[in-house]
Amino acid sequence: MKVLVTGGAGFIGSHVIKLLLDSDHQVTVIDNLSHGYKDLIDSRANFIQADILDQSKLEEILPGTDVVIHMASFIEVGQSVKNPVEFTQNNILGTVKLLDAMRKTGVKKIIFSSSACVYGKANNSPIIEDAPLGEQENPYGLTKVTMEQFCMLYHRLFGFDVTILRYFNPYGPLELHNPETHAIPNFIKAILEKKPIPLFWKGEQIRDFIYIEDLAKAHVLPLNQTGLHIYNVGTQTGAKVIDVVRKIFEIVGYEVDIEDKGERQGDVPSLIASSEKIKKELGWNTTVNLEEGLKKTIDFFRSHLSSI
């Protein structure tokens, strides 16, 4: 299949692209490189530096595409609070322009990269896909809800085939966000540099951490899917953040100080996926447990930091 990946120069996109290419798909990547890195894109892919806000450019690129995997969005929660207009423009308007460019060029299949944040402060755990979407704590979450809604609207109005993947807490090699807001890469980098770890809520929050290679597989399995489908993508296993820190200490063989940052507004105490639906309908499953995934991620950052 001919697959167009938006935002493919990022952490998750780079892994998805490699898996698509290894599965003999033809891949075109568009990314404006505002947050991504060209070096992360597999050399077998066709790369076009473009912005999803440039609808005319999208309409030039899209013809002949079988499916779009849409991953281009701003993701830093704190920045979304500081710059809500920028996030709204890039995430929501960019998605609408992409969908409309697809409509005009006859491309009607999209796999959308969403987030478990759409559930807000969920009342039940593990969370199932038909749980109500919760009140959002920040503009980033609100943009993801709206992006989902536009994908569903194009399904209803124009017959698009839509698969929405709600990620829980991805981690793994090649996670090079700047600024980095995710816990595991920040913990690992601090520990390897022997600096104090900043920790909120004393690390008592429970999260569903999913290794990047397992997450990437969830993008390839729905390529031939028709209709509208929404899937959680998580391990169905919760881990306390403090226990993840202790496991990293155990793997590297030493400890560093922990900086107690107190409470943080907007954090939910527990976020665990029910992934039974994607397992049943697509045959997806996880293969890398937390300890193995942490070892691979530590090896990557140890090598990356030593080369800087």
pTM above 0.75, yes or no: yes
> What phi-psi label fits residue 203: left (phi over 0), alpha (psi between -120 and 50 degrees) or beta?
left
If pLDDT is split at 50, 70 and 90, which confidence band does 180 have? low
Q: Higher confidence at residue 201 or residue 107?
A: 107
If pLDDT is split at 50, 70 and 90, which confidence band does 183 have? confident
pLDDT at 270: 79
- In the chain, the percentage of residues whose pLDDT exceeds 90 is 74
Contact 226, 161 (CB under 8 A): yes
Tens of pLDDT, residue by residue over 70-86, are 999 988 887 888 899 99
Tens of pLDDT, residue by residue over 140-179, are 999 999 999 999 999 999 999 999 999 999 999 988 766 6
Q: Higher confidence at residue 107 or residue 198?
A: 107
Asked if residue 245 is part of any domain, the answer here is no
Asked if residue 160 is part of any domain, the answer here is yes
pLDDT at 175: 82
Q: What is the CATH number of the domain that holds 155?
A: 3.40.50.720
pLDDT of 9 higher than 60: yes
Contact 204, 271 (CB under 8 A): no
For residue 144, the tally of other CB atoms under 10 A from its CB is 26
Count of domains forming the chain: 1
Tens of pLDDT, residue by residue over 257-287, are 998 888 776 667 778 999 999 999 999 999 9
Asked if residue 138 is part of any domain, the answer here is yes
pLDDT at 23: 95
Containing structural domain, residue 50: 2-172+211-234
List for the chain the helix, strand, coil content (%; round to 5). Answer: 45, 20, 35
Q: Higher confidence at residue 263 or residue 39?
A: 39
Asked if residue 107 is part of any domain, the answer here is yes
Asked if residue 281 is part of any domain, the answer here is no
Asked if residue 9 is part of any domain, the answer here is yes
Contact 123, 270 (CB under 8 A): no
Where is average pLDDT lowest: 59-63, 201-205, 231-235?
A: 201-205
Residues annotated catalytic, as ranges: 140
Tens of pLDDT, residue by residue over 204-259, are 888 999 999 999 999 999 999 999 999 999 999 999 999 999 999 999 999 999 98
Bond from prior residue into 84 cis (ω within 30 degrees of 0): no
